[in-house]
Structure 1
Amino acid sequence: MRSVGETPSTASDQADGGDPLPRRHVVFAVVAIALFMASMDQTIVATALNAIQTDLSAELTWSGWTITVYSLGQIIAMPMAGKLGDHFGRKRVFLVGITVFTLASLACGFANNIYLLVVLRALQALGGGAFLPSATGIVADHFGRHRDRAVGMFTSIFPIGTIVGPILGGVLVTWLGWRAIFLVNVPIGVILFVLAAKLIAESPRREAGRIDFGGLGLLAVLMLSTMYGLTNLDLGLGSPWFVVPEVVAVLSAVVFVRHTMRHRAPFIPIRFLRGRSFAVMNVLNLLFGGAAIGFGALVPLYAEQRFHLDPLAAGTLLTARGAGMICVAALAVLALRRAGHRLPMAVGLTLMVVGLVAMAMPPAGVSGYMWLAVSAGLTGLGMGLSVPASNNAGLSLAPDQLSSLAGLRGMFRQSGAIIAVSVTTAVLANSANPAMTQAHAFVVLAALLLASVPLIFTIPDHRGAW
């Protein structure tokens, strides 16, 4: 498919993808480990909150910010790293990301107060957020005409890392203490930097023009203020901690759109936001982030409150979802060229809807743990089927700007997750029956996903390589 503004020769090159490069499988392993490490750090801290709170004499709200600020930092970093990767070269951005992530992890491991730890977690997120868009482009560059399958498999790693995080975190905190969850990244980061510098080929750069730092700054203010306000939603709709950030967000959005429409080379081209296919993919990614990533953060709490499971048993439910996803993802990648994008996405989202509804409505006389495990596994099957197709559907719209589109996709998915968690927890805080309220929240998420299925049939149904 030819993207807007593409010359005929460029379109042909992009459609073919070129010959795969040597050592591509080793490069895939290097960038996959980096992405896995960054995604795992999004949730690994969850099991260490009590230990951090006790050791640093911190309030629970500040301890919780070690998780929130990581998500916020990634939301800012993903589109920024994607654009910079297309402009300066993906290898360079990837190496900078590893450096920032590793040094920040080291500093987190030696932080002596909660405020410093929150700041360092933000820096760690900026480095980790650079992995997904730059590494997606690196994988596509190295696999050439096979990049659709490689990218489909590669981007399925991110949600698996978020599932493994709490489990590994529990082991490290139990045996080595909470600082180990950060320090374990340091030797891995050093090894990855050396391997990446030696093995990854340089990607083409877009040297023409300047980076739109004004647009970048406005987008950062827009996303940060929006998400910060939502994290304070539990304080009430009239709270200044919610109202003021959201007012800033609205004003920033207006200025950002005007700036983007007038700038000669905007940070995010306006067609990526409101072009028909791009807009649909943005909506789908936002809803997917809420239902998949946000849902994952809420399942253990739901299991503990409604079915009275212990924390370890509740945490293993996410393993069932991860197992379901892994079982299907590889097969879904192999079938992409024959099945296209629409069918796997539609069937996958439908399976997620069924899993969410089933989780909210367990039948009488059935083991709560067993029913939740089956329901979570069903949502995992849906994720494994839909994620590769969804990722390729977005990237194939503009193959010459892979990193930028991967960063934008990550931003919308992370935003959806924060919105889902923030709104749900705010409602739970004022509920007389939190367990049933959360069950209703799962049904609402299912309804939103089901309503988004018709949108899938408005995007190009690409078959074959892209």
Structure 2
Amino acid sequence: MVLLTCFLSVVVAGLDTTISNVALPSIQRELHAPVSGLQWVVDAYTLVMACLLMFSGSLADRFGRRRVFQIGLGLFSLGSLLCGLASSLEALVACRALQAVGGSMLNPVAMSIIATTFTDSKERARAVGAWGAAAGLSGAAGPVLGGLLVSGLGWRSIFWVNVPVGALAICLAQRFVPESRAAHGMRFDALGQLLVVAFLGSVTAAVIEVPQHGWGSPFIIGLLVLAAGAVAGLIVVESRRADPLVDIRVFRSPAFSGAAIISVVALMALGGFLFLNTLYLQDVRGYSALHAGLLTFPMAAALAACAMISGRIVAARGSRPAFVLAGLLLAAGTGLLVGTGHGTGTWYLVLAYLLFGAGFGLVGTPLTNTALSGMPRDRAGVAGAIASTCRQTGGAVGVAVCGSIVAGGSAGFLASSHTAWTVLTGCGIATALLGLISTGRWARARAERSARRLSTHALEATR
């Protein structure tokens, strides 16, 4: 029952990633939202999630994982209910942010609950594998379920469906999930958290708002200066803390740094793909939400299937072949979509979706494996939290970049989207190249040296 309870959290979080994109054209029509408004509907969730993942993990370790998990479920369900009641774009964006506050307490905390509940290594491996399968299947079901709900009940229903699932998960957690916490909880790093929010928020806002203001405007320049100052502040402040929110030392490992950058780049491709493809199918091709969801299902199905295959490839051949194949497939899928138009054949679209889904499905396991390779066990939680933050950040940036390209284009959505698809093709190529660099002999040797240094620092800190 513990595993079932955790599954419910990954289901609602996984569904919310893909189900909301299908509703964007309906939201645009009813709330009279510009493209930048649709960007904020998506990015309010992913951005707030990215900012709070590490903080939520530390809260759970300190105050109790079951307690924080239940609070997260409650906030996520409340935010979902309010999203469905929103009467304006601004209200919807605010409620999406509330959803994300709760969402940041779900998957990372649920994973720590699984890790502490299933102490046997074989049982834990099976539980984690089942967890990954549930995440893949929920993402695959999102486009179809979203299409059914939007076509039958309207866009508000895609948020309301989370409420009963969240309520059930809260009850099951209270009944079956044992409380646990870390022996020594991390102290709250208020300044570090503020700097993370300043960096991620200002970068995303600058990219989204640049079509309206221009790169030379004082507003955009100010946001970019704030982002640069926040990064510098993080490096200085967090490197001096004994218990930092962001442990800068883990970036000394080329393998981890490479995996972090690949996380951003690969998730940029996914975020941009979901955003552009939804608008293309419904606004350009005139398909209903259900038709668009069904047409996108092959991508999500290929993603789920290849996520399972990826583990076998990494186990047999290491991370490098999986990275290269994933990057090439991502580039091939988005490259095909560069040439889409009003009359592009369905078979052509399905082929592109299958290639893209397969590529993204392959990239997850080597990302995790490379990020944690050479990392001492006592830093695994920190490394995992930072990697998750990079994933969420990449999704937000992908939506921001692609939305800005199509919003700022003077030739219309279709012509501008070709430029955006080209950018996403570059993300696929970058994934393959960075995978080669971060899994080479030099990177592995540096990762081992970094691991020894981190272990030495941790040992000295406990004395």
Provide the TM-score with structure 1 as the length reference.
Answer: 0.81
What CA distance in whole angstroms lies between the structure 1 residues aligned with 2:144 and 2:221? 36
| Match in the other structure for 1:222 | 199
Is 2:405 aligned against 1:430?
Answer: no
Task: State how far apart, in whole Å, the 2-side matches of 1:56 and 1:314 are.
Answer: 21
Aligned to 2:72: 97
| Preserved CA contact (<8 Å) 1:152 1:387 | no
Structure 1 residues 150, 234: closer, same or farther in 2, change over 3 A? farther
Could you give the per-residue CA deviations for residues 362-385 of structure 1, whole angstroms, max 9, x where no partner exists? 8x9x96221221121122222323
Q: Is the 8 A contact 1:173 1:180 kept in 2?
A: yes
Cα RMSD after superposing both structures: 3.2
Q: Which AA in structure 1 matches 2:196?
A: L
Of 82-91 and 258-267, deviating more is 82-91
Deviation of the 1:297 alpha carbon: 2.5
1:326 aligns with: 304
Q: Give the Å deviation of 1:238.
A: 2.0
Shift of 1:418: 2.5
CA separation of 1:51 and 1:359: change in aligned 2, threshold 3 A: closer
Please say if 1:443 is aligned against 2:418.
no
Query: 1:248 aligned to 2:226?
Result: yes
In structure 1, what residue type is equivalent to 2:365?
P
Aligned pair partner of 2:40 in 62, 65, 68: 65
Give the stretch that moved more between structures: 394-403 or 247-256. 394-403
Indicate whether 1:271 and 2:253 are aligned: no
Aligned partners of 2:38, 2:363: CA distance in 1, in Å? Answer: 34
Q: Distance in 2 between matches of 1:369 and 1:129?
A: 37
| Separation in structure 1 between the aligned mates of residue 417 and residue 159 of structure 2, nearest angstrom | 33
Aligned equivalents of 1:281, 1:84: Cα separation in 2: 25
Residue 411 of structure 1, aligned match among 366, 389, 410: 389
Match in the other structure for 1:349: 327
Matches within 5 A, 1:13-162: 26-49=1-24, 51-52=26-27, 61-62=36-37, 65-143=40-118, 144-146=120-122, 147-148=124-125, 150-151=127-128, 154-155=131-132, 157-158=134-135, 161-162=138-139
- What pairs up with 1:282-301 in 2 under 5 angstroms? 282-301=260-279
Q: Indicate which of 361, 366, 372 corresponds to 1:389.
A: 366
Q: Which moved more, 1:238-247 or 1:191-200?
A: 238-247
Secondary structure class of the residue paired with 1:80: helix
What secondary structure sits across from 1:232 in the alignment?
Answer: helix
Deviations, residues 218-246 of structure 1 (Å, cap 9, x unaligned): 21222112212222132221234432222
Structure 2, unpaired ranges of 5+ = 448-463
Q: After TM superposition, give the deviation of residue 52 of structure 1 in Å.
A: 4.5
Aligned equivalents of 2:28, 2:326: Cα separation in 1? 39
What is the deviation of 1:160? Answer: 5.4
Change (3 A) 1:114 1:324: closer
2:99 match: secondary structure:
helix
Q: State the Cα distance separating 1:79 from its structure 2 match.
A: 2.2
Q: Which runs of 4+ in 1 moved over 6 A?
A: 57-60
> Could you say what secondary structure the match of 2:365 adopts?
helix
Tell me the alpha carbon deviations over residues 258-285 of structure 1, each in whole angstroms, 9 at most, x when there is no partner: 1011112111111233433321221111
**CA deviation after TM superposition for structure 1 residue 388, in Å:** 2.5
Q: In structure 2, what is the equivalent of residue 8 of structure 1?
A: none
Secondary structure, aligned partner of 1:266: coil
Structure 1 pair 119–208 and aligned structure 2 pair: CA distance change class (3 A): closer
- What is the distance in 2 between the residues matched to 1:59 and 1:344? 39
Segment drifting more, 422-431 vs 146-155: 146-155
Selected match of 1:182 from 139, 159, 164: 159
Q: Secondary structure at the match of 1:248?
A: helix
Q: How many residue pairs get matched?
A: 434
Partners of 1:152 and 1:401 lie apart in 2 by 22
Please state whether the residue corresponding to 2:182 is helix, strand or coil: coil
Compared CA separation, residues 281 and 206, structure 1 to 2 (3 A): farther
Structure 1: distance between partners of 2:125 and 2:8: 19
Shift of 1:402: 4.8
CA distance in 1, matches of 2:249, 2:186: 19
Question: Alignment identity in percent?
Answer: 28
Question: 206, 211, 221: which one pairs with 1:234?
Answer: 211
Displacement of 1:286 after TM fit?
Answer: 1.0
Instruction: State which drifts further: 220-229 or 198-207.
Output: 198-207
Deviates more, 1:447-456 or 1:435-444: 435-444
| Aligned 8 A contact 1:136 1:155 in 2 | no
CA contact (8 A) 2:337 2:352 kept: yes
How far did 1:321 drift? Answer: 1.1
Which range moved further: 332-341 or 66-75?
332-341
Q: Distance in 1 between matches of 2:218 and 2:208?
A: 13
Q: Aligned partners of 2:34 and 2:424: how far apart in 1? A: 30
Report the Cα offset of residue 250 of structure 1.
1.1
On the 8 A contact 1:71/1:125 being kept in 2, the answer is yes
User: CA, structure 1 residues 282+124, in 2 after alignment: closer, same or farther (shift >3 Å)?
Assistant: same
